[in-house]
Structure 1
């Protein structure tokens, strides 16, 4: 509750957080020393002014001191330097003979420059607070849509990471979840087309349907059909509201871990990259069908292809106990280096497993893919990136769905 309140208050805690954003480039032992820059500038101006001839006076350059403070420091610090610069100007100018003094014109320049610098600092600080406020709202919204997953949830060992392509916290539509239930544990990962609140809203609608259908429906095909229907209903609703995102769709992978069979998984693909089975023996893609993205299922009917109507088929695949399922969004598969080459995910994982088979563990696997993706693209992600890894837990994994049913 305290964290939520911190999004909206204007207490000293928020101002300190703003300060960390502003001064993170110039710190000594964790303390901001940005005030040293305008202070050193003022000292240099005074020293140079006293060591030049009367025909070359630079004391009026004191106007730059407050301007520099406005770019680096807070409002009150800027005001302090504006006053200090004005006082310094008066004292330094008065020390020269009358014929060499800069005069009242430069005094007015330093005075007006100081006032304008204080106003500029106030505008800048307000803008930084607003940006930080929006970032926290974006993070809170994502945490609301992507609920935290407890360790061992649904009998699965899991790890995930989300990387935003936009440093200014534009929200994307990547989503994932695990839902245990009486018919086994189901996993969903997907990517809604587009960005912004519209994409997050569509992701939230799909996740809500998944959590209900994955728990109650015994057949994974029915869960897939419910997701398709939900995406179409969501689009109709947005069109009825007069919005222009009525053609939005989502790629996704739906996975079922049957309760009675521990060595297989059921996979349904909605136009997404196939999940990879990663284990000490190597890397292999799982068959996941060639279904259309969620929301585009009606295209098959429009093309007159009866075989393509309805949800995509469920593909059953073998999964060894030491294999981890890796699911990623296109921020990974479409990451490019400077030469334009895509990140070779499967080849890179094969090489990593040859050096250390423990790379297949979910936490290690997610960390490896994250680091290698960022290294491949030089930290310049072209799209929001989600990396999600799951595998069955050990001897107690059969208790996972029951525990999930009691907590749902």
Structure 2
């Protein structure tokens, strides 16, 4: 296998670099960022003191507040700026008059300290803004894509969400598991478009799914409720005068009966069909051929796609992805061969069919194949029935 290219590595590093840097500069909860500029101050002073007048480097002390500005707080940087000026005056005065640098270097050190303090204030303000935006994005992500217990509603599951926007944490992809008195329901989908409008549509669909998926005994009724919700959302955005009134969403709605039968019910709203992955290989489920959510009024009878029942062994995992996976291309424009890569991995090691391993496998494969350049938000979601007696959690919220 080819190693991850440097772009992928850089993307992963930049994402949390500032937060990790702050953690590295703390010991037992106390900041030690001041140590580096202090050592530089001491080093410059000692070298200047122990060399002749022909090797004057005391003016290099202007570097001290500059280093502090990059890693310390505003008040610490200001303190180093003052200490640097005082140290410069003391050290320069120890030389005879003809070797003193005097006013020009004093202005350099003083001005450097002022500029370093201002730069530090700008850096800290930007960093605080970035952390605030990350908190907002993380809250949005948890609202739309709520955390799920590792074993939930009789299912073992795993999920990975990769945003095409390196600064975003959530987009138009969505997934959820809803337990109910009528079995377990699963929804995976992708809202057309990007931005906050796509997030709004995803949140609307998930809210409807969580209510209808719990209360409605018939999966076809849940599908109809989702279609109606998308149409209502479109009418609302149109009434607001927004230009995304024609938005739609592809989705796969899955019903797992609670009677222990080895079957699943699927309603496919124009989405990529799931893959059944087990120790015996990979089995693509037939496409449903239905229209995406929000486009049901284009059908002759305006009815949602038909419900189809498929066999699914207890050892098989259902793998669902959004088009960020199927449309991932390499530098030559070749699409990612999901089925082939999964089949090879399962043939080499049947344990690769486990949800967590399967999701990691597809994630790594997509990133390698695309060189880290994702053309669309990417969701990889896998579910498998738990063994008898292994369930943790009951009827969900």
Give 1:132 shift.
0.9
TM-score (norm 1): 0.82
- Deviation per residue, 1:247-297 (Å, 9 max, x gap): 222221111113346222122222221111000111121123122221233
Unaligned runs of 5+ in 2: 1-15
Give 1:385 shift.
2.5
Output the CA distance in 2 between the equivalents of 1:371 and 1:28: 34
Give 1:400 shift.
9.7
1:393 aligns with 2:386: yes
1:329 aligns with 2:322: yes
Unaligned runs of 5+ in 1: 1-16
Greater mean alpha carbon deviation, residues 203-212 or residues 145-154: 145-154
Checking the alignment, whether the CA contact within 8 Å between 1:287 and 1:317 is kept in structure 2 is: no
Q: Match for residue 136 of structure 1?
A: 135
Output the CA distance in 1 between the equivalents of 2:37 and 2:92: 19
Output the CA distance in 2 between the equivalents of 1:239 and 1:96: 78
Output the CA distance in 2 between the equivalents of 1:356 and 1:62: 61
Output the CA distance in 2 between the equivalents of 1:18 and 1:343: 30
For the residue of structure 2 that corresponds to 1:255, the secondary structure is strand
Alignment root-mean-square deviation, CA: 3.2
TM-score (norm 2): 0.84
* Superposition pairs of residues 6-405 of structure 1, within 5 angstroms: 20-23=19-22, 34-35=33-34, 37-39=36-38, 41-42=40-41, 45-46=44-45, 57-260=56-259, 262-298=261-297, 300-301=298-299, 306=300, 309-396=302-389, 403-404=394-395
Query: How many residues are treated as equivalent by the alignment?
Result: 382
Checking the alignment, whether the CA contact within 8 Å between 1:252 and 1:293 is kept in structure 2 is: yes
Checking the alignment, whether the CA contact within 8 Å between 1:18 and 1:129 is kept in structure 2 is: no
Checking the alignment, whether the CA contact within 8 Å between 2:138 and 2:169 is kept in structure 1 is: no
Greater mean alpha carbon deviation, residues 351-360 or residues 310-319: 310-319
Checking the alignment, whether the CA contact within 8 Å between 1:266 and 1:316 is kept in structure 2 is: yes
Q: Match for residue 11 of structure 1?
A: none
- CA 1:91/1:213 → structure 2, altered by over 3 Å: closer, same or farther? same
- CA 1:238/1:375 → structure 2, altered by over 3 Å: closer, same or farther? same
For the residue of structure 2 that corresponds to 1:387, the secondary structure is strand
- CA 1:369/1:395 → structure 2, altered by over 3 Å: closer, same or farther? same
